Amino acid sequence: MKNLIIITLDTFRRDHLTRQITPNLWKFSKMCDNFPNVFTTSPITMPAHVSLFTGHYPNRTGVRKNGCHYYDGRYPTLAEVLQDKNYYTHAIISSIILEKQFGLDRGFTTYDDDFNGKKRRKKWFGKRFWVRRAKETTDLALKAMRRHKYGPSFYWIHYFDCHIPYHRNYNNECRYMDEHLGRLLAKINLKKTIVIIVADHGEGLGEHKERYHGTKLFNTTVNVPLLIYPKINGRLDYSYSITDIMPTILSILDMKYPLHYDEENITFHEVINTRSIFIETLHKNPLYACIFKNIKYISNEKLYERWNDNLIVAGVDYKEIISEKQKQIKKYKENALPIIKINVDQVIVDRLKNLGYME
């Protein structure tokens, strides 16, 4: 049985995976399937990670915001599935947004979310941020891997360096993360391990009048990098959602697990030409997007080219497409399952406010 490592690079933009900015990741990507058209389900950390680890959109998981929605386990998580198959499961996370109180710890034997150490604070304009820096994240991952050498294991390693507040600037944080990511990649036994590297969302650096992420649905924040090692000969020409990652992993591991996938959940080998994929944000003003073939419709009634976010001037030809996409988004909203709200303690609320997630 092969080991599995999923590395999530919080807030890392796909176009920053370059030889200059992230040389270690760039080098590793040459050995992987590097999918160009993968979209997150939401440019918000917790909803995106829950989609990644369950294979469902946020309207079904009920986790649609950070810091107040709880994942109640209505669908099995990847960690639960693998734990059932006798995998040792271990998560190292680097931000309070994913703390175990929000429910994503289910299925993990070890869920390392201890942010109370003095070293773990990042200072910015006098405020303190409870995060783990890449050096510590990598050190902890290497330590855990040395300890559990026998039997199949699943690690989820989460890097948070590219998120605000930046030391100097965004590129500098990407470089710093890459340095420590490189130390991790160098130690992985690639003969025995499947490695998946993905971002939960990107980052607006001023394009489309957006800074940071979460308020708009342009490719700067919703088109995410996805690397799969070893290569699986997936379809690089087709659009996928991060909800397709879980069925792909289970297919690679040859696991037939009874999952209640949404009807159009597929693996990265498959193509359904009639399929649309969905993106949402409920962070401030709710927005929905629907990607179909070469078009991205955003619910402010605008059509964009999927590749580059160029606005398509919506003439008569597009009226039908717009009305069709509006119907699909309406259905997506109507299909929503209940949200479980939780009250987190004031300490966490204050820390989340510092990250810009709560009013």
- Point out which residues bind Zn ion (CB under 5 A): 10, 45, 200
| Shortest Å distance, C-beta 47 to Zn ion | 9
Radius of gyration of the chain (CA): 19
| Shortest Å distance, C-beta 50 to Zn ion | 12
How big is the CA angle at 31 (ends 26 and 36), to the nearest 5 degrees? 65
DSSP strand pairing (121-124 vs 127-130): antiparallel
| Shortest Å distance, C-beta 256 to Zn ion | 32
Question: Residue 300: what residue type?
Answer: N
Residue with Cβ nearer Zn ion (178 or 200)? 200
Nearest of 356, 359, 358 to residue 163 by alpha carbon: 356
| Shortest Å distance, C-beta 281 to Zn ion | 12
Phi and psi at 210, nearest 5°, equal -120, 130
Residue nearest Zn ion, CB atom distance: 45
Residue with Cβ nearer Zn ion (10 or 178)? 10
DSSP, residue by residue, 77-99 = -HHHHHHHTT-EEEEE--BGGG-
| Shortest Å distance, C-beta 105 to Zn ion | 17
Nearest of 133, 65, 67 to residue 94 by alpha carbon: 133
| Shortest Å distance, C-beta 299 to Zn ion | 22
| Shortest Å distance, C-beta 201 to Zn ion | 5
Helix axes 245-252, 45-54, angle to 10 degrees: 30
Residue with Cβ nearer Zn ion (10 or 99)? 10
Residue with Cβ nearer Zn ion (213 or 325)? 213
| Shortest Å distance, C-beta 163 to Zn ion | 6
> Which residues neighbour 227 within 8 Å (Cβ) at sequence distance 6 or greater?
25, 28, 29, 32, 33, 34, 35, 195, 196, 197, 198
> Which residues neighbour 110 within 8 Å (Cβ) at sequence distance 6 or greater?
89, 90, 91, 144
Residue with Cβ nearer Zn ion (214 or 234)? 214
CA distances from 79 to 50, 54, 75, 299 (A): 11, 9, 11, 34
- Residue 122, classed as helix, strand or coil, is strand
| Shortest Å distance, C-beta 139 to Zn ion | 22
Residue with Cβ nearer Zn ion (45 or 220)? 45
306, 294 Cβ separation under 8 angstroms: yes
- Residue 35, classed as helix, strand or coil, is strand
Residue with Cβ nearer Zn ion (105 or 200)? 200
The span from the CA of 172 to the CA of 119, in Å, is 20
How big is the CA angle at 286 (ends 198 and 301), to the nearest 5 degrees? 100
| Shortest Å distance, C-beta 41 to Zn ion | 12
Residue with Cβ nearer Zn ion (94 or 267)? 94
Residue with Cβ nearer Zn ion (200 or 309)? 200
DSSP, residue by residue, 256-298 = -------TT---TT---TT--EEEEE-SSS-EEEEEETTEEEE
Residue with Cβ nearer Zn ion (102 or 238)? 102
